Every structure is written in structure tokens, then in C-alpha cells.
Structure 1
Amino acid sequence: MASRPERQPGIAHPRLPLPEGPEDLLAFQRWLEEAIPMVAALGIQAMSEEEGALIWQLALAPSLNDKGTGFGGALTAQATLQGWCWVTLFLRQQGLQRDVVVADASQRFIAPVTDNYRMICTPEEPAGAQRLVDKLQTRGKGSITLKQQLFCGDTLCFEATGRYVVLANT
């Protein structure tokens, strides 16, 4: 079996071509695992989109801590990445290939994560996506604040917010 070439610091990974219709989230996830090597270890089992939300199903096993519950650092990494993915996928739906970075983020740990879970990412404000589109059209760059919520069954265990910046084309 052929091995993938190792990623090198300072060398950007090739962008995934824009879709010619609905996004193939499985293809996006495979590309993501190549572009950001640690993604393969995060336990993402499935991605879906529903009414402006990006929803992930995740396995707990790769993110266990010494107590047998979800490790806060792993949950934080997942939330940060999910926000980046939300913005990247949103831009792709608009026909745009742009660089996205997280500017700031915060987390709140509410209950232990004790089983496989789902994480849901949405704009913090209902008009956030349209405001981002408007900023991109008028200024060439913009930002959006997203929230991530992690549920074990019906129990909310973790919340995060992050402000993601879409950089101007250079």
C-alpha cells in the first residue's frame, strides 16, 4: 500500500477543488485528514449539514483522559476545527476559496463526556452568515462568530464560541 507523503512545515496543502453541486462531506473529511494530519486522530465518524448547522458524530475513545471521560484539550481542538470547517464549507457554497483562521475562542465545560457524542456548530447570531457575505463583498474580508455545542445523548456537556476570520485575497 502506498503511503501518503508527509506534510512539511511552511508548505501549504493543495486546496480541494470547489464542488459542482452539493458538497461531498466524506471527500471533504478525507481531504481534511490529509491537510491537517491530527484530524485523523480526532474520532470524527460522520459529518452532516442541516439548516445552516454543521453536525459531527464523534467517538469518545480517541479523546479519553485519565478519568475515562472526554479530554478537554481534545474537545477544544474539535470545536476549533469544526468552526474552521463551518466557515470553509460556507465559503465553498458561495464559490469562494479563501484562507480562514481562528482569531479567538472560549470554552465552557458543563458535564463530563462519558460516551460517543455529537457536536453542532452554528452562527452565534442568525444574521451572522449574511453579515459575513456582506463584509466579503464590501471589504474583501470579514469575520463570523460561531458556537459549538457538544451533546452526549440529550445532555449538553460542552459549549464553545470562536471568532473566525476570512482573510482578504492576496
Structure 2
Amino acid sequence: MVVTRKAGVSHPRLPLPEGPDDLVAFQQWLAEAIPMVGSLGITHMAREGDSLTWRLALAPSLNDKGTGFGGALTAQTTLLGWCWATLWLRERGLARDVVVAESSQRFHAPVKGDYRLICTPQDPQGPDALAVKLRERGKGRIALDQTLYCGDTLCLSAAGSYAVLPEA
């Protein structure tokens, strides 16, 4: 069944996993919930410890110079952080809304080929602090870093603050 998105109408949530999270199902849901995801070139998504990694094809994000388009790369870093927070919540059985509150990027080198994006908490204690805030206040924030590598070359570093909203 194809779902057509409409402005102002929330997309139905993906049911919480009953065991280890299924990243394939999450990625399929993500492409329905956020239509541009299907055009990002994500070829692989993996979670290991406190990191979330995407592998991406460069072709969908090319600019006029034949390198990565900064706007597309920025959107990808922001979305990767949102996915990190959403998956973290899902692993804990929490279906909550996440929004980006702040973000910044720094470009270090042009992206000239397929690449990988890695998202991790800025502070190793950040996830534990977020869990405490959610328990005590029903909402919280976490600061996440995203790094983009083309081969061994660091091309982009980004940071974002993601807010977990109170239950509706």
C-alpha cells in the first residue's frame, strides 16, 4: 500500500519493536514518513553501541562541480541525528516525538565519492543523562555529533541538539 503524504498530517508511527530493532523496517518506514529519504542514496544503515552509521552513494547528492552538494549533506547530518534519537527511544520502548533544536556544520574537504556518515553522542554520558531527564521531567535533549568520511578523509563535521518532546 502506497501512502501519500499531505502537509499538516502526521505520518503513522512505526510500531515499537518486540525485540532487537529491525533497521530495514525502520528505513522503509522512514522513506514513507519523510519522502526525501528515498532520494538520499542510503545504501546501508547500521547501529553499533552508541553509534549509528549510514553508507551513502554520492550520485543523488551531486552539485554542479561533481562533488557533494552542501545542502544535501547538511540535511543528511540533521536527519541522521534525528534517526539516532528516534532509534534510541525505540530501543527503550518509547514512542516519542523528536525534533532538531539546533545544528551546525563545518565543511573540511569536498566529498568526491561514496561516503559514510557516523552519529554519536557528544558526551558518552549523554544517553544516560537523557534517560534521567525523560524519567524526571518527561522531556529532554541530547547533543549528537555527525562526521562524514569519504574513504579516510574527514569531509564534514556537524553537531546537533535533539529534543525529545513530552508525551502528547
TM-score scaled by length of structure 1: 0.97
Q: Distance in 2 between matches of 1:17 and 1:50?
A: 22
Partner of 1:94: 92
Give the match for residue 114 of structure 2. Answer: 116
Distance 1:147 1:136 in 2: 21
Matches within 5 A, 1:24-103: 24-103=22-101
Contact 2:3 2:32 in 1 (8 A): no
Match of 2:133 among 123, 129, 135: 135
Instruction: Tell me how far 1:10 sits from its aligned partner.
Output: 1.0
Separation (CA, whole Å) in 2 of partners of 1:126 and 1:95: 21
Does the alignment pair 1:7 with 2:33?
no
Q: CA deviation at 1:5?
A: 3.1
Q: Which runs of 4+ in 1 moved over 6 A?
A: none
What is the CA deviation profile of residues 31-77 of structure 1, one whole-angstrom value per residue up to 9, with x for unaligned ones?
00000001100111110011210000000000000000000000000
- The answer to whether structure 1 residue 159 and structure 2 residue 157 are counterparts is yes
What SS is found at the alignment partner of 1:149? strand
- Whether the 8 Å CA contact 2:100–2:161 is kept in 1: the answer is yes
Equivalent residues, number: 168
Tell me by how many angstroms 1:104 deviates: 0.6
Question: What is the deviation of 1:96?
Answer: 0.1
Which amino acid letter does the alignment assign opposite residue 117 of structure 2? M
Identity, in percent, stands at 64
CA RMSD of aligned residues (A): 0.7
State the shift of 1:105 in Å. 0.2
TM-score normalised by length of structure 2: 0.98
Gaps of 5+ in 2: none
